[in-house]
Amino acid sequence: MSAQIQLNDNPISEQEYLDGEKLSEIKHEYIDGDVYAMAGASKNHERIAGNVFGELRSFLKGKPCEPFASDVKIKAGSRFFYPDVMVVCDDATPNEYYTESPVIIVEVVSKSTRRIDETVKRTTYQTIPSLKELVFIEQDFVDVEVCRKSQGWISNHFFMGDEVPFESVGLTLAVEEIYARVDNEDVRTFLEERALREQEAVQHNVEEE
C-alpha cells in the first residue's frame, strides 16, 4: 500500500466516505470513521504490485476467480482499504466499488507503510471470513511473507531462488518473477552472483574443451 495521511478531525459515516470517494481524484482509506489520504507509490512498489497482478490476471483468464489491482476497495467491518492486489472468487457484494469476499490479499510494504500494514491491516484482514491467504511483500529488500488461514495465520517467508505457492488460487510464482525489474540491494546481489556463476560455468566448459 501507499503511505497514509489523516485528513478529518471528526468521524464521518461510511456512506459519506463512499459518496466522497466517487468524486475524489485522490484515493482515501477509511478506518472507524477516520479518513486517510493515500500518498503516491514508488516505482519499485508499482513494479512488485504490477508483477503479481499481471501473473494472476494471466493465470486466472477464463476462470471464475478475478484479480483486482489497487483501485477496488475491500470492506472489512467498519474499515475500507485499497489493497495492492486481491483476488475475488465468489463476490456477493452488491456494490461496484468494493468487495467483502477476497480469497487472497497482497500488500507491498515499505518503511512508510509498515506500521499500519503490520498492525491495523494485518489484524483487520484476518477477520474477513472468505480470506484464505494474506501476502506481504517487502519493497526495499527481498522477503515475501505468506500467511494462511489454514495454518492459523503463521508466517512463511520466501526469498530469491524460492518459489511461492499461492494455494488459494493454485498459482506458484518464483520470487524472482515477483521482483522482476525491482532495484534494491538484495535483487542486485542475487543477479550479480548468478551472472558470476554463469560466467564461471562457461569458463569451466571452455577449459574442459
**38-81 pLDDT tens trace:** 888 899 999 999 999 999 999 999 999 999 999 999 999 999 99
Position 4 scores a pLDDT of 52
- Percent of the chain predicted with pLDDT > 70: 93
> HEC states along the chain?
CCCEEECCCCCCCHHHHHHHHHHCCCCEEEECCEEEEECCCCHHHHHHHHHHHHHHHHHHCCCCCEEECCCCEEEECCEEECCCEEEECCCCCCCCCEECCEEEEEEEECCCCHHHHHHHHHHHHCCCCCCCEEEEEECCCCCEEEEEHHHCCCEEEECCCCEEEECCCCEEEEHHHHCCCCCCHHHHHHHHHHHHHHHHHHHHHHHHC
16 in a structural domain: no
34 in a structural domain: no
Q: What is the pTM for the complete model shown?
A: 0.90
133 in a structural domain: yes
Q: Which domain holds residue 101?
A: 41-208
Domain count across the chain: 1
Name the pLDDT band for 201 (thresholds 50, 70, 90): confident
CATH code, domain with 172? 3.90.1570.10
Position 118 scores a pLDDT of 87
1 in a structural domain: no
Q: What is the mean pLDDT of the chain?
A: 91
2 in a structural domain: no
81 in a structural domain: yes
- Whether 160 has a pLDDT exceeding 80, the answer reads yes
**What pLDDT digit, counting tens, does each position of 5-23 carry?**
455 667 899 999 999 999 9
129 in a structural domain: yes
Name the pLDDT band for 149 (thresholds 50, 70, 90): very high
